[in-house]
Amino acid sequence: MPHLSDRVISITGLEDDGWEIFNLAREMKLNGKEIVELTIGEHDDTTHSLILEAMNQSARNGNTGYASVPGTSALRKEVANRVQRRTGVYTSASNVIITPGGQAGLFAAHVALANQGDTGLIIDPFYATYPTTLRSAGLNLRTVKTNPEENFIPSPEELDAKAKGAKTLLINSPNNPTGMIYDDHTLLAISKVAIKNDLWIISDEVYDTQIWEGKHISIRSFTDMENRTAVIGSMSKSHAMTGSRLGWIVAPEQVIEKLADLACNTNYGVAGFIQDAGLYALTQMPEIEAIVAEPFKRRRKIAQKIIREFPSVKICPSLGGMYLMLDIRESGLNGIEFSKALLNAKNIAVMPGESFGTSSAGHIRVAMTVSDDIFEYATRTICSFASNFVCSTN
C-alpha cells in the first residue's frame, strides 16, 4: 500500500489532539450511560424555526444548484454592512467571502496568508483545532504563553519575542476557552507587534455577539491594521446555526480574490439555500442574536453564585462566550486527571484545560450548553467534587 502524505500524518502532531474526554463521553453515551455533556459549544436550543423556514423555502424555490463561490451578492453585502456598523471601518462586499463555517475560514486564511514552512503564532490557551489548522495549512506552529494569574492576556513582551520571523498571528476575542475579551489596550499592543514584525493578523471573532462585560473591539479597526487583518466570522454561535456551516472572512480585496480561487478548488462555496437562510436571519431577525446569547449570560450568573460557595474553585472572569474556565488546581489534580475522574464518578463531561495548551493546565472548560436546572446541578457537583479532593489532601 502506498504511503500517506507527511502533511496528513503530521496534522495532529505528536501530542494528543485534545478531544479524548469528549470522545470518551460520547462512547459512554453510546453504551447507554446518561452523560451531562459540557464539552463542546453546541446550543441546547436548535436553529430558530423561522430561519429553517427560510432555508426550506429557498430550497423549494429551486436554489439548490451551484451558488456563487465567493458567496451570494446579497449575503456578502449584508455581512459587509454588519461589519461596518459594528466597527466603523468601511467594508464592501468585495472585502467578504462566505465560507462553510468559521473553521473553513481559519484554514483558508492561513493558506492564503502564509507559505508552507512559514511560522504561525497562536496564543496559549487556544481553541483545540488551532494547532491542527495551522499544520494542515503547512505552517510551523509557535505558541505565545500566557499566565492564569494575568487572566490569560498575552504580554506585549512575550508577543514581540515570539513574533521574530513569524508570518501570521491568530487571535481570538472573546476567547475560547477562557472567556476573556481583549480590551483596546491589549489590542493596541498586538497591533504594534504586528506592524513592527510585519505580521498578518487572523482575528477569530465568532463570539462577538456574546458579551457579558465590556465590549467587543475588532483589531481591524485600529490604525494601519485594516490591510494586514483577516477577520473570521460565523453564524454558528451567534444564530445557533452550527450545522449549517455558514461563516465568512473579511479581508483586503486582493486577499478575497485569491481566497475565491482557493474556494474553487476546495469547497466550491456554500449552498445557496443556506446562504438565503443566513441573509434572512441577518436582515429580518434583528433580535435573534440577543435571544441566542441570553441563556449563556443567565447561566454565567448561576455559576458565579454557586462558585462563591466553594473557595477552592476559582472562575476566570469569563467576560464573553458560552464557556467558563474553572481553576481546579487546589484539588491537586491536573485538568485531564480531574476531567476523567469527574466523568467516571459523576457522569459529567468537561474539557480539560490541557486540551487548549499548557498555560491552562489545572483548569477545566465548562460549556454552558444545557438547561438551567441541569447546568446548576452540574456546576454544583463539579465544585463539590473538586472541594472533596482538597479536603482529602489536607
Q: Is 17 a residue whose pLDDT tops 70?
A: no
The proportion of the chain whose per-residue pLDDT surpasses 90, expressed as a percent, equals: 89
Q: Which domains does the chain have, with CATH numbers?
A: 6-46+288-393 (3.90.1150.10), 49-284 (3.40.640.10)
Give tens-digit pLDDT for 142-175.
999 999 999 999 999 999 999 999 999 999 999 9
Give 5's pLDDT tier (boundaries 50, 70, 90): confident
Give 14's pLDDT tier (boundaries 50, 70, 90): low
| 37 vs 29: CA distance, rounded Å | 10
On whether the CB atoms of residues 315 and 328 are closer than 8 A, the answer is: no
Distances from the Cα of 46 to the Cα of 55, 150, 293, 378, angstroms: 14, 36, 13, 21
Question: Cell triple for residue 306?
Answer: 454557586
For the chain, the average pLDDT equals: 95
On whether the CB atoms of residues 67 and 267 are closer than 8 A, the answer is: no
Give 394's pLDDT tier (boundaries 50, 70, 90): low
Average of pLDDT values for 193-207?
Answer: 98
Question: Cell triple for residue 378?
Answer: 452540574
Give tens-digit pLDDT for 107-121.
999 999 999 999 999
| 235 vs 247: CA distance, rounded Å | 6
Q: Is 217 a residue whose pLDDT tops 70?
A: yes
Distances from the Cα of 162 to the Cα of 86, 120, 355, angstroms: 31, 10, 22
The residues, any chain, with a CB within 8 Å of residue 63's CB and separated by 6 or more, are 272, 273, 276
Closest CA to 207 of 356, 326, 102, 76: 102
Order of all β-strands in the sheet with 36-38? 36-38, 348-352, 363-367, 323-327, 314-315
Give tens-digit pLDDT for 54-82.
999 999 999 999 999 999 999 999 999 99
Average of pLDDT values for 321-329?
Answer: 98
Q: What is the pLDDT of residue 141?
A: 96
Looking at the DSSP assignment, which residues form a beta bridge with residue 105? Answer: none
